[in-house]
Structure 1
């Protein structure tokens, strides 16, 4: 019993000033509904008390409703039990409020509209019976029920919105985790076939006493030194991605006996700009693979350009230009890269490709 009393008292104390003011204004508005009829008895002495009575009565009914309704409103109950308790609290609150209003107004001896009509006729109204009291309680039950229903609907809407927000946050977190897993898988792919074939070529070069053997081995080691530490990283910078492209191109040049000159073009301020990892290298890998399949050669030049755009140049535009045309295509790997780029930026980033007479341009636009 004490636990129930403690919860009830806590529910009453939880009423905020904003809620109390809203209830006060709502009760005043409800009291104004019957004020126009008092115009007809404005010539009868005491009509000002009748106005005060019409404004005070809804406040007292609301007080009675709050006493029974707040404990149920603040409870954690759900489902049918909550509905039945709300109905019971509304009925009990309307009866309690009507009784409270009747007692206070009777003690103040404030007249109502009907009493003023009887007074105008020079007669005294007979005492009110229980039927009139019950009629007043039923009349008070209507606005009480509407208030409870509207508040409960708003509570459920707020609760549903909060649950939806939680689901969206959970979905977003799961999407980020999935994206991180895909990126980790991409970071882990140091192309075993390329590594094996390159090691075989280097071994053969040493067996042939080639002067290029040490340099080729050094370029392979450099690529591994750049690529392997990225297995533990979740982000990257423009400078690091550029070094990875450069080391990869050096290895590919050795593999295919086709030198590729790599250059960069960007302001010094963009060197440390952060960007999602493993977007540029898969794009370059795909382009070189397509070039070798179609023309059995690699582009002789590759350039990576970067520019800022947008407000304060917080966005980043990257353009990878290769000196071979016709490397755009629309295969699954390019679509996967475009989809991963959108996932990294909530759908705002873009991957575009266009081919000119002598070059292929891949442009990645990363918004702020």
Structure 2
């Protein structure tokens, strides 16, 4: 059964997280560098955002022949995901820069993509990072009746085929997010079973301002400029590319073979493992030697390091991964890692297949 209330983690005398922090901090002290982003990250952020604006304006005001337009919509979808991975994500965790204002600007880049930062911040930073893979609390594994993403979720007959149809469902993530789940969270004032923290007046204004801006920039103006049908085709291509990229990267981090889905003790509502061990058991890395993938997904293929050190920019994950791997060996913890993205996708497909066929 899923958790019905927010669980607690046990308090231990010598937490693994403390040891990890000590060793990682020693690395930064030895190198004489900060844990924030570097000049290369700032350059990448500027290039990605500028490219998105250029492609958008070119499609709107200099609409090319249909096959070039489709290609540009594919690129635009990739840029939406790329900005989310590389700019918004680090900014939301306060690791993009040493300056709070710069982090805030980077974090709110999600607003230019049509999603509300307040909702995402609570869903991702406060819930997912605290209660990873805990059914009933972690909203990232709550997809509804169409998919079974944890052993404690009810298995339906249709789930036998989920390892076939998940490709299409993942493509719908982005459009579903901006047109449904944001509104569901807003009006129910809950994320899954977890109550939303109280929204200030500025949060309400921002929410509706973002939705109005998105409707004007990505629906009304394009329809006026290129017509209804051309807009619909282009919009679907862009959102489906972005949706699949966003979905697959995050799913490969937690819903693959070997990752755990712990439940709390029924009587004490306490998890069996301390926080850091829980994060290691519920998280996986993939394609960490592939520099292109690491660059495109903002280091989120180093998901173990990210969950242990979310306030450290992803540009440092390749270096600190050696430290984390060594500590896991010392503590006899499995460091779950797939050498390529193809093998990670295979592990995800097999996981979905098992979830659909076995209780």
Q: Same fold (TM over 0.5)?
A: no
TM-score normalised to structure 1 length: 0.22
The TM-score, its normalising length taken from structure 2, stands at 0.22
Relative to total residues, which structure has the larger strand share, 1 or 2?
Answer: 1
The structure number with the bigger radius of gyration is 1
